């Protein structure tokens, strides 16, 4: 009988270990407070908070600009169309990325009413863009000019033009600007020595203690002849591949992103529960 | 009379219960892969928007309008300063971001941050398997560089701004003329 009691206790403890984690969900199921009130903090009264969580010094700030085709931004109905597009892009782009979703409190989404203008290119591939005065959004880590006309978009530094449904492209571009992530696809991306994501030397990749958890050094032969070394092998992630299913960051991306988010002064940076190539959807 | 269960029978039954409860645990685990549309933010009418708060006076940035001249092949020939301003503003959070170019801030305090090559243009296409392609613009390229003049809660008294390319070549250097740059901003 004594053996039986001990055994049953062990069984109960084992049951708790098996069942409770299943009931507790994951870190992606945390409560997220969406603040949609008018701004209490902004750089200027031409800048409005779409979704505001923290003062600019303590957040990644993404600013949206309407193309002039959205019409008069003083007209509420016309402005609402722009805001609906912006919201859709946030919902289906940024919020579908697990690393961003579990750290939403560190992201602000702003908009300005001064329009830009995106037109088909007169020369080359990129559109002809007229940007509004961006002085009041100098705090932004990334600026997105939304337009509805269909054309090939481009990104320059922290500025990008985008159609409202280019969900993952915008997240990819914002990741360059806000987190300093290099491209990981072959062969004409923006590459630089960016440990533990990308290396100029194979020996640097294979000898970096920071990437031991996922190390699979594979080369990218750039069009200019230089070989770059990626620590995540051929894994498809937000910085390496397109296609709708790939919306997550890889381990190396997160290493760099975490450093940036931690630098904002937050003590509550949360590790993603899902890494590429797995995908994730905003939970119920 | 109470029937005493044999230990072997007890183990078999308890194991069965464990398997059943484990299966239930899996079944009642929140469905984290289900899709949910977040409630769309609503925005107040323009007339109801409260006047926005300005950053405090110790929050300043320098905005440098630069022009980069590059030869075919990408070699930088020179970088000119077209305009410089100091304004009261929050700064972008640049000090923990990586990039191939380095901006060095020298003075009583010393800081540096990294940035992408501003001549790099990403050509996008959301429908492609490869996200986009990239080119380095040559010839004359305008670049607006925002330089934080504070770090966390400390004002940075910067006297010189240096910029280095990916090969650590010094491609631009300018003294910071606070008086003239503040005047240029009209603040």
Is residue B110 situated within a structural domain?
A: yes
Task: Give the closest residue to A140 by CA, choosing from A101, A173, A167.
Answer: A173
Strands A47-51 and A107-112: antiparallel
Q: Show residues of chain B in contact with A43, CB under 8 Å.
A: 52, 54-55, 89-90
Chain A residue whose CA is closest to B48: A38
Is residue B48 situated within a structural domain?
A: no
Report the first-to-last Cα separation within chain A, whole angstroms. 46
Binary contact (A139, B91; C-beta < 8 A): yes
**CA atoms of A110 and A38, how far apart (whole Å):** 11
Is residue B159 situated within a structural domain?
A: yes
Residue A108 in contact with partner chain B when CB distance is under 8 A: no
Provide the number of structural domains found in chain A.
1
Is the distance from CB of A90 to CB of B81 less than 8 angstroms?
Answer: no
Lowest-confidence segment of A180-189, A269-278, B49-58 by average pLDDT = B49-58
Torsion angle of C-alpha atoms B175, B181, B184, B186, degrees rounded to 10: 180
Instruction: Taking the CA atoms of A123, A128, A133 and A138 in sequence, report the sign of the dihedral they define.
Output: negative
**CA atoms of B121 and A157, how far apart (whole Å):** 8
Binary contact (A154, B122; C-beta < 8 A): yes
Binary contact (A265, B152; C-beta < 8 A): yes
**CA atoms of A223 and A242, how far apart (whole Å):** 19
Is the distance from CB of A48 to CB of A63 less than 8 angstroms?
Answer: no
B67 to chain A, closest Cα gap in Å: 14
What ipTM did this prediction achieve?
Answer: 0.84
Chain B residue whose CA is closest to A278: B33
Is residue A109 situated within a structural domain?
A: yes
Is residue B122 situated within a structural domain?
A: yes
B59 to chain A, closest Cα gap in Å: 10
B108 to chain A, closest Cα gap in Å: 22
Q: What is the pLDDT of residue A25?
A: 33
Q: What is the pLDDT of residue A192?
A: 96
pLDDT at A11 > cutoff 50? no
Task: Locate the DSSP E strands across chain A.
Answer: 47-51, 60-66, 107-112, 117-119, 128-130, 142-146, 154-156, 159-162, 198-199, 218-221, 227-230
Domain hosting residue A54, numbered range: 29-179
Chain B residue whose CA is closest to A25: B30
**CA atoms of B45 and B25, how far apart (whole Å):** 48
- A131-171 pLDDT, tens digit per residue, is 999 999 999 999 999 999 988 899 999 999 999 999 988 99
Is residue A231 situated within a structural domain?
A: no
Q: Which residues of A174-201 are buried (b: 16+ CB within 10 A; e: fewer)?
A: bbbbbbbbbbbbbebbbbbbbbbbbbbe
B145 HSE (CA, 13 A, CB side): 31
Distances (CA, A) of B52 to A80, B55, B151, B185: 20, 10, 23, 20
Other CB atoms within a 10 A radius of the CB of residue B157 amount to 12
Binary contact (B26, A83; C-beta < 8 A): no
What integer best gives the mean pLDDT of chain A?
A: 84
Binary contact (B98, A192; C-beta < 8 A): yes
Binary contact (A57, B133; C-beta < 8 A): no
What integer best gives the mean pLDDT of chain B?
A: 82
Q: What is the pLDDT of residue A47?
A: 84
Look up the CATH number of the domain holding residue B121: 2.60.40
Q: Which of A33-37, A260-264, B14-18 has the highest mean pLDDT?
A: A260-264
Q: Show residues of chain B in contact with A97, CB under 8 Å.
A: none
pLDDT at B52 > cutoff 70? no
- A162-210 pLDDT, tens digit per residue, is 999 999 889 999 999 999 999 999 998 999 999 999 999 999 999 999 9
Domain hosting residue B124, numbered range: 60-185
A67 DSSP assignment = B
Model confidence pTM above 0.90: no
Residue A226 in contact with partner chain B when CB distance is under 8 A: no
Chain B residue whose CA is closest to A125: B123
Instruction: Taking the CA atoms of A42, A47, A52 and A56 in sequence, report the sign of the dihedral they define.
Output: negative
Residue A55 in contact with partner chain B when CB distance is under 8 A: yes
Q: Which residue has the tokens 């033009």?
A: A161
Q: What is the pLDDT of residue A80?
A: 84
Of A18, A61, A283, the CB nearest to B18: A18
B130 HSE (CA, 13 A, CB side): 12
**CA atoms of A274 and B46, how far apart (whole Å):** 40
Is residue A197 situated within a structural domain?
A: no
B41 to chain A, closest Cα gap in Å: 5
Binary contact (A47, B52; C-beta < 8 A): yes
Is residue B25 situated within a structural domain?
A: no
Q: Show residues of chain A in contact with B31, CB under 8 Å.
A: 283-284
Is the distance from CB of A144 to CB of A207 less than 8 angstroms?
Answer: no
**Which residues numbered 119-158 in A keep a CB inside 8 Å of some CB on B?**
125-126, 134-136, 138-141, 152-158
Q: Which residue has the tokens 């303590």?
A: A58
Q: Show residues of chain A in contact with B51, CB under 8 Å.
A: 45
- B77-103 pLDDT, tens digit per residue, is 999 999 999 999 999 999 999 999 999
Is the distance from CB of B109 to CB of B176 less than 8 angstroms?
Answer: no
Other CB atoms within a 10 A radius of the CB of residue A230 amount to 27
Of B25, B34, B129, the CB nearest to A19: B25
Binary contact (A193, B32; C-beta < 8 A): no
Q: What is the pLDDT of residue B12?
A: 64
């Amino acid at each position: 009988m004594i053996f039986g009691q001990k055994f049953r206790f062990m069984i109960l403890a084992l049951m708790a270990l098996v069942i409770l984690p299943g009931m507790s969900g994951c870190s992606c199921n945390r409560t997220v407070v969406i603040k949609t009130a008018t701004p209490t903090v902004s750089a200027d009264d031409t800048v409005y908070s779409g979704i505001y969580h923290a003062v600019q010094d303590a957040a990644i700030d993404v600013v949206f600009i309407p193309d002039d085709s959205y019409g008069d931004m003083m007209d509420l109905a016309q402005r609402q169309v722009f805001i609906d597009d912006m919201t859709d892009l946030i919902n289906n782009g940024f919020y579908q990325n697990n690393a961003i979703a579990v750290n939403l409190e560190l992201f602000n989404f702003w908009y300005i009413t001064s329009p830009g203008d995106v037109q088909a290119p007169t020369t080359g591939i990129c559109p002809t863009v007229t940007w509004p005065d961006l002085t009041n959004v100098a705090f932004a880590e990334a600026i997105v000019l939304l337009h509805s006309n269909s054309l090939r978009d481009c990104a320059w530094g922290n500025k990008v033009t985008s159609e409202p449904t280019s969900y993952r492209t915008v997240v990819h571009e914002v990741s360059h600007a806000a987190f300093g992530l290099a491209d990981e696809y072959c062969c004409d991306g923006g590459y630089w020595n960016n440990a533990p994501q990308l290396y100029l030397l194979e020996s640097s990749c294979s000898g970096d203690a920071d990437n031991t958890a996922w190390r699979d050094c594979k080369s990218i032969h750039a069009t200019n002849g230089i070989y770059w070394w990626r620590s995540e092998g051929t894994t498809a992630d937000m910085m390496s591949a397109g296609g709708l299913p790939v919306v997550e960051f890889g381990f190396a991306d997160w290493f760099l992103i975490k450093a940036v988010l931690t630098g904002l002064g937050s003590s509550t940076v949360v590790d993603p529960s899902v890494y590429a190539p797995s995908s994730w959807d905003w939970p119920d | 009379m109470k029937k005493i269960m044999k230990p072997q029978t007890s183990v078999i039954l308890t194991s069965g219960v464990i398997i059943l409860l484990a299966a239930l645990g899996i079944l009642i685990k929140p469905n984290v892969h289900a899709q949910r549309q977040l409630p769309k933010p609503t925005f107040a009418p323009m007339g109801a928007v409260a006047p926005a708060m300005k950053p405090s006076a110790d929050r300043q940035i320098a905005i440098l309008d630069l022009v980069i001249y590059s030869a075919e092949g990408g070699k930088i020939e020179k970088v000119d300063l077209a305009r410089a301003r100091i304004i009261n503003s929050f700064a972008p959070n640049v000090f923990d971001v990586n990039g191939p170019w380095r901006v060095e801030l020298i003075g009583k305090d010393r800081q540096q941050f990294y940035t992408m090559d501003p001549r790099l243009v990403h050509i996008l296409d959301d429908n492609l398997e490869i996200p986009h392609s990239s080119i380095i613009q040559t010839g004359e390229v305008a670049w607006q560089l925002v330089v934080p003049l504070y770090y966390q809660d400390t004002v940075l008294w910067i006297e010189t701004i240096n910029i280095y390319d990916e090969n650590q070549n010094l491609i631009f250097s300018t003294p910071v003329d606070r008086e003239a740059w503040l005047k240029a901003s009209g603040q």
